[in-house]
Homo-oligomer: A and B are copies of this chain.
Amino acid sequence: MEVVSKKQLEEVVTLNHLLINIIEQAFTDLLVKEVQMPPIMRVDVPDYNGEVDIKSAYVPGYDSFAIKISSGFFNNYKLGLPSANGLMLLISSKTGVPKAVLADNGYLTDIRTAAAGAVAAKYLAKTKSPNVGVIGTGAQARLQVKAVSLVRKIEKLFVYGRTKEKAEKYKQEMEKELQVPVQLMEHPKEVVQSSDTVITTTPATDPVIRAEWLHPGLHITAMGSDAEHKRELDEHVVEAADLVVCDKKEQSTRLGELKGKSEKFVGNNVLELGQITSGAAVGRETPEQITVCDLTGTGIQDTAIARFAYERLINKCKGRNT
């Protein structure tokens, strides 16, 4: 069994169009194939303010699948450590034998999560969406914006973060990275009002976006909520939107922004991303629509990126480039 380091993975997998296509295909597979994707397993470690999530998905016809272990230990900052850790196991679909440990420290999760944001923006943001807003200033606040920049031309970036220092750092880094002006905002409301596309990337337990701030043509991707107690959008946001999409209804109603919504509402008003990527349903149809996409993160994304990474590594060793 091979152990692959984060560094090795960074060399073969980056956030680009190819990867976005891989993740888009994963969402299609989730809809059209008999995918085995069990509910997320979660181990709580309350003594240390920690949690471990385990995700997996087997896709028929794929010769391997991933089991992903990701942890968030929110006291780690006191020790000077990042809160997120984790790894992926790649398992042979034919024999169950573990093929590799991808010791990515959460790198692949970061990238595949951002790629899902790109898929959402591709189908749900207006074709012309030059103004992008982001709530939060962490790793996903960076990666999600980069992901959107691959599918929509960004001319200006608006950001809100609770910690001034981190927001300043974000501005500096992202202006350099994207070569567009980044404006710090005093309030999330200003971000929403200034933007065509808004991405929320926080572990908020109280909503950071209110329904009354929505305006025609807005697209929101909410990727922060992935637990029972988290919530980024107030409960009226999805009701006020013209089109609501999520990665997986079962997860979104339990862990994401569809908490508390009736089965009827979800059945009648919500699409899964795979319905759009597969062509079974359409995404945004007019520039005036308000669209929302809730991403909770799915095991099939982990299987898709782990397989892709492993294949690239194998090909690299063989001296080929895919």
Contacts and interface: CB of A to CB of B under 8 A. Distances in A.
How many copies the complex holds: the figure is 2
Contacts of A211: none
Interface residues of A, number: 45
Contact of A43 (B42, B47, B56): B56
B71 A43 contact: no
A253 to B, nearest CB: 19
Contacts of A43: 36, 38, 56-58, 65, 67
Given A36-B46, A91-B52, A1 B103 contact: yes
Nearest to A55: B41
B52 A42 contact: no
Interface stretch (A72-80, A138-146, A212-220, A281-289): A72-80
Contacts of A44: 36, 58
B54 A73 contact: no
Nearest to A44: B36
A264 to B, nearest CB: 28
A98 B84 CA distance: 11
Contact of A76 (B48, B61, B86, B95): B95
Interface in A16-66: 34, 36, 38-39, 41-48, 50, 52, 54, 56-58, 60-61, 65
Contacts of A93: 45, 47-48, 50
Interface string A83-116: 1011101010111111001010000000000000
B71 A91 contact: yes
A42 B48 contact: no
A85 B97 CA distance: 6
A43 B41 CA distance: 11
A198 interface: no
Contact of A96 (B58, B76, B96, B97): B76
A78 to B, nearest CB: 10
17 contacts: A1-B3, A41-B41, A41-B56, A43-B65, A45-B96, A47-B60, A47-B61, A47-B93, A50-B96, A52-B56, A52-B67, A73-B95, A76-B95, A81-B95, A85-B95, A86-B96, A98-B103
